[in-house]
Amino acid sequence: MHNMDERKGFRSNLGFLMAAIGSAVGLGNIWGFPFKMGRGGGFAFLLLYLLLTAVCGFVLLLSELALGRMTSSNGVMAYGAVSRRFRWVGWVTPVTAVLILSFYSALGGYCVKYLVLNVGSLLGAPWGAAGRDGATIFASLIGNQAESVIYGMIFLLLNLLIVMGGVSGGIERFCTVGMPALFVMLVIVIIRSCTLPGAAAGLRFMYAPNFEPLRQNFLDVLKTAGGQVFFSLSLAVGTMVTYGSYTDRRQSLTKNAAVIAACGALVGLLAGMAVLPAAFATGAPMEAMGGPDLLFITLQNVFGKMGPAGPIFGILFYALVTLAAASSSVSLLEVPVAYLTDRSRLLGRGDRRRRYTLWATLVAAVLCAVTCADGLGTNGLWVPFQRFFAGAERLPVFCESWLSFLDMIAEGLLMPLCGLLTCVMVGWDLGPDAIRREVELHGNRFASYGFYRFCVRYVTPLLMLFILWGQLKNFFGF
Ligand code: PFF
């Protein structure tokens, strides 16, 4: 008989890896990493980034996966199960996840729109992008509130359908097909991008070592790299705790954590080879190399200038970005859904996944609609605190738009805080030895335990404190 109370996980370790890599690889890698690396000193930045991935990313990732697996629970309950003092930290995770999901879906909606535009160009349809400049297209999209909201909702609907399908039937299946497809598309786009005339300048910008930024403002570069490692590995939001709880006890957690961290960094590097050479080849100004402009203006112009093959590469590229975004956002949606379904199961009501997925999506949909209608601050919508700072010399970044505001609460405050407290809890309250016992189950080895223990108790919390300060500084502009 089908047991309604059974908690189901990933079907295979490969499926888990695809889902976790899918969560890590997202908009952050594709539009955030390349430019930050170029600005931060190219190869020199990369070394710092890899170092932080090891002492901060790997350590937290391993802790979260182990925490989920040892408690077989979602983020909220996992913290409560191992520590009374840090129980409340668990509650931060679904809140952060829903906040990120809201603005991430607004951006995901834009990606879907660009995919549709390029299909239109290929078909020669009037609703295509043909003959229009990227800046005009983007301005008319964000200025059209109804259209932006509809695309945001389409993206959320995609998430809803996947997460309703369950952990193995929805998320695992989607990522097991989606991640290899993403990789193939990325390689094709890289080949095209790197063979465009003038592409070498982009590669030089991103890869040539330049120690100057490190020498001049080391702390700034360190905080950029730290924030990036952290966001890009989907840490401190409960996603990795939740995914960890769905894994098999026989698998090696250290190997899995290392593979996920390495793939996150690798895709960031590859994404740089896909976007920056193309952006430089069109001679776009430096300001158009990062943020939304890079994806929605600069690159659309690249495809627009490519002739008949342009829409094909446009479709490939925006399909790739949509896939990357969706495999990240489903992991965010799974955080509240996992909590609600676990709770319902414990109360003997069955898992009611469909109902709870709908609830969580609806909450995100409201905030997503506001973010879309706000159009990155261009539509004159009221943004919290904007009035308050109206007289100030410079408006703090977080009240420029709803997206920045939600991002400030989530990425600026809650994520680094939760990361810091997770480290302190694991290092000092629960103790690293508990993680060691979980890792060493079924005869798995934990060769790096000495390193892990030292980092989780001293190095990682200090770095997390530093990242928290860095994020606050970014958002509040002090
Ligand atoms: N890692 C994703 C990215 O780099 O775009 C963003 C993200 C996904 C952050 C899931 C947090 C999370 F829980």
45 CB-contact burial (10 Å; exposed 0-12 / middle 13-18 / buried 19+): buried
Torsional sign, CA 280, 282, 287, 290: negative
Whole-angstrom distance, CA of residue 78 vs CA of residue 57: 20
User: What is the model's pLDDT at position 1?
Assistant: 38
234 lines ligand 1 (CB under 6 A): yes
Token pair of 282 as six digits: 């069109």
63 lines ligand 1 (CB under 6 A): no
159 lines ligand 1 (CB under 6 A): no
Count of CB atoms situated within 10 Å of the CB of 417: 18
Count of CB atoms situated within 10 Å of the CB of 246: 25
- Which of 102, 107, 229, 328 has most ligand 1 atoms within 8 Å of CB, for mutation? 328
For the whole prediction, is pTM greater than 0.85?
yes
332 lines ligand 1 (CB under 6 A): yes
User: What is the model's pLDDT at position 476?
Assistant: 77
Phi, psi of 23 (to 5 degrees): -65, -45
User: What is the model's pLDDT at position 379?
Assistant: 94
Count of CB atoms situated within 10 Å of the CB of 179: 22
Count of CB atoms situated within 10 Å of the CB of 209: 13
User: What is the model's pLDDT at position 428?
Assistant: 97
26 lines ligand 1 (CB under 6 A): yes
Through-space distance between the first and last CA atoms of the chain, rounded to whole angstroms: 61
Token pair of 1 as six digits: 């008989």
Whole-angstrom distance, CA of residue 116 vs CA of residue 155: 13
Whole-angstrom distance, CA of residue 292 vs CA of residue 288: 8
User: What is the model's pLDDT at position 473?
Assistant: 83
Span from the CA of 327 to the centroid of ligand 1 (angstroms): 9
Quote the longest CA-to-CA distance of the chain: 67
Span from the CA of 378 to the centroid of ligand 1 (angstroms): 25
336 lines ligand 1 (CB under 6 A): no
User: What is the model's pLDDT at position 5?
Assistant: 64
User: What is the model's pLDDT at position 399?
Assistant: 86
User: What is the model's pLDDT at position 391?
Assistant: 78
Whole-angstrom distance, CA of residue 27 vs CA of residue 41: 21
Instruction: Return the residue whose CA atom lies nearest to atom 13 of ligand 1.
Output: 234
Distance of CA 251 to the CA centre of its chain: 25
- Which of 105, 107, 332 has most ligand 1 atoms within 8 Å of CB, for mutation? 332
Span from the CA of 332 to the centroid of ligand 1 (angstroms): 8
96 lines ligand 1 (CB under 6 A): no
CB 279 within 8 A of CB 189: no
Atom of ligand 1 nearest to the CA of 97: 13
CA-based radius of gyration for the chain: 22
Span from the CA of 132 to the centroid of ligand 1 (angstroms): 32
29 lines ligand 1 (CB under 6 A): yes
Phi, psi of 379 (to 5 degrees): -100, 10
Instruction: Return the residue whose CA atom lies nearest to atom 10 of ligand 1.
Output: 234
- Which of 100, 263, 414 has most ligand 1 atoms within 8 Å of CB, for mutation? 100
Virtual CA dihedral for 66, 69, 75, 76, nearest 10 degrees? Answer: -120
Atom of ligand 1 nearest to the CA of 335: 13
CB 249 within 8 A of CB 442: yes
Closest CA to 281 of 182, 210, 189: 189
27 lines ligand 1 (CB under 6 A): yes
Burial per residue of 81-99, b for 16 or more beta-carbon CB atoms within 10 angstroms, e otherwise:
ebbeebeebbebbbbbbbb
Instruction: Return the residue whose CA atom lies nearest to atom 11 of ligand 1.
Output: 234
Instruction: Return the residue whose CA atom lies nearest to atom 12 of ligand 1.
Output: 234
For each successive 10 residues of the chain (478 residues), what is the average pLDDT?
71 97 95 88 92 96 98 97 97 97 97 97 93 94 98 98 97 97 95 93 91 89 89 96 97 97 93 91 84 90 91 96 97 98 95 97 98 94 86 82 93 93 97 98 96 98 92 78
- Which residues, including other chains, have CB under 8 Å from residue 372's CB and lie 6 or more apart? 106, 109, 145, 148, 149, 151, 152
What single-letter amino acid sits at 126? P
Whole-angstrom distance, CA of residue 467 vs CA of residue 222: 8
Say which residue the tokens 């990242």 belong to: 467
User: What is the model's pLDDT at position 2?
Assistant: 46
Span from the CA of 159 to the centroid of ligand 1 (angstroms): 14
Whole-angstrom distance, CA of residue 6 vs CA of residue 3: 6
Say which residue the tokens 């994404």 belong to: 271
Strand, coil or helix: 397: helix
